[in-house]
């Protein structure tokens, strides 16, 4: 079984590659991200930061490793929730899909943060549109798969007993 820092580093590399592919789709293929896509990118970037910290820190205690596991699991769960909501919006019947709204940058400039977040999760027509798919899965569906996979791997990795760990019963 690979060491914990290798698994954390590999998961961080996966996040980096996923973010890179998202930027490739945006800049090379011309697919503009909707507000929910941007939130999923923020979740992947947050996961990347935590995983890089875990890989560099290499906690030697169970508590330290488990703290990284809890944080990575929480960030992955938030990302999965955003992706799941995005999938829900994409699967609404055409008449029930929300109307197109302003872009995220405009909303952040014009509205308070709480109202902007509410508007993002209410969704817009651009969030309900499926403009790319691979193996019949849209971008948010693939994001959901990756959030669940990375969250599960990182939780299992950081909650396992470190090699060579011997609990001190009587010191």
Please write the tens of the pLDDT for every residue from 49-95: 999 988 888 777 777 778 888 999 999 999 999 898 888 877 877 66
pLDDT class of 1 with cuts at 50, 70, 90 = low
What average pLDDT is seen over the chain? 79
pLDDT class of 99 with cuts at 50, 70, 90 = low
60 versus 165: the higher-pLDDT residue is: 60
Look at residue 133 and tell me whether its pLDDT is greater than 70: no
Look at residue 47 and tell me whether its pLDDT is greater than 90: yes
Give the residue from 49, 53, 55, 51 showing the smallest Cα distance to 3: 55
Instruction: Name the 3-class secondary structure at 129.
Output: coil
CA angle at 104 for the pair 80 and 45, rounded to the nearest 5°:
40
**What global pTM score does this model have?**
0.75
Look at residue 144 and tell me whether its pLDDT is greater than 90: yes
Asked if 122 and 92 count as a contact pair (C-beta separation under 8 A), the reply is no
Backbone angles phi, psi at 102, to 5 degrees: -70, 165
């Amino acid at each position: 079984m690979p060491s914990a820092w290798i698994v954390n580093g590999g998961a961080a590399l996966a996040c980096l590659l996923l973010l890179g592919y998202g930027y490739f789709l945006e800049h090379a293929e011309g697919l503009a991200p909707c507000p929910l896509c941007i939130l999923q990118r923020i979740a992947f970037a947050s996961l990347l930061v935590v995983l890089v910290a875990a890989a560099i820190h290499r906690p030697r205690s169970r508590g330290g490793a488990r703290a990284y596991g809890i944080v990575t699991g929480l960030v992955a769960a938030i990302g999965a929730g955003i992706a799941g909501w995005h999938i829900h919006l994409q699967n609404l019947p055409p008449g029930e899909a929300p109307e197109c709204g302003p872009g995220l940058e405009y909303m952040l400039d014009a509205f308070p943060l709480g109202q902007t977040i509410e508007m993002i999760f209410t969704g817009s027509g651009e969030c309900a549109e499926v403009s790319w798919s691979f193996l019949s899965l849209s971008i948010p569906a693939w994001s959901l798969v990756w959030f669940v996979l990375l969250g599960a791997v990182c939780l299992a990795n950081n909650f396992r007993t470190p090699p060579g760990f011997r609990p001190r019963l009587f010191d």
